Amino acid sequence: MTSVYQQLAQAYSENRGRTGPLPVCSETIDVEPLRNRDGSLTAYDKPIVLLTDEFTISWGDTFAQIFADSKRGPLFGLRTNGAGGSVLWGEGGPYTESSLSYTTSLGVRAAPVAAPGYPVTAYYENVGIHPDIPYDMMTEENLRNGYRPYVEAFTQAILAEINKAGN
């Protein structure tokens, strides 16, 4: 919690409304990976292709960002929504029957990224995570064929990753 306090104190002393990166799911940004009793990593180490589209939103955006920034594997499909991660709900105020939803996070990328049609940014909000292998599954051909072309396309992408890894 010391690092959180330091970030808050620094932002306050510099009259800033935004802190540096803060952890969302633990007390520190540096989270050790899960290990077995013998100390070996329990992480899945086989090739992975992450499927994304414009409905990849909220924590899905965050997961895609972490996946892409850690270079765990390619993203396949369409860009994510870019609509934030940690969303909370609350009442709209006294004397109303309204409710609010608001994000309490700002997805900071590991390094600034450039995506076609967007300025260079260090965040994924409003930009989304763009796939390494673009594929628009929202086509008439996919609809008429039970999305078979889409399944065949991402299957080929998975097989290419397996072949690249030599597994």
Length of the chain in terms of residues written? 167
The answer to which of 27-31, 92-96, 104-108 has the lowest mean pLDDT is 27-31
- Across the chain, mean pLDDT equals 89
The answer to which of 17-21, 27-31, 101-105, 147-151 has the lowest mean pLDDT is 27-31
Question: Residue 21 — very low, low, confident or very high, per pLDDT cuts 50/70/90?
Answer: confident
pTM: 0.80
Architecture label for domain 47-165: Alpha-Beta Complex (3.90)
| Whether pLDDT at 24 is above 90 | no
pLDDT score of 167: 59
Residue ranges matching CATH 3.90.226.10 in the chain = 47-165
42, 34 Cβ separation under 8 angstroms:
yes
Residues 35-53, mean pLDDT to the nearest whole number: 92
Distances (CA, A) of 112 to 22, 28, 50, 140, 145: 18, 22, 21, 36, 39
Per-residue model confidence as pLDDT tens digits over 70-94: 999 999 999 999 987 778 888 888 8
Within 8 A by CB and 6+ apart from 102, the residues are 87, 88, 90
pLDDT score of 101: 84
Higher pLDDT, 104 or 46: 46
What's the burial of 75, exposed, middle or buried (CB within 10 Å: 0-12/13-18/19+)?
buried
Tell me how far apart the alpha carbons of residues 51 and 153 are, in angstroms, rounded to a whole number. 11
58, 85 Cβ separation under 8 angstroms:
yes
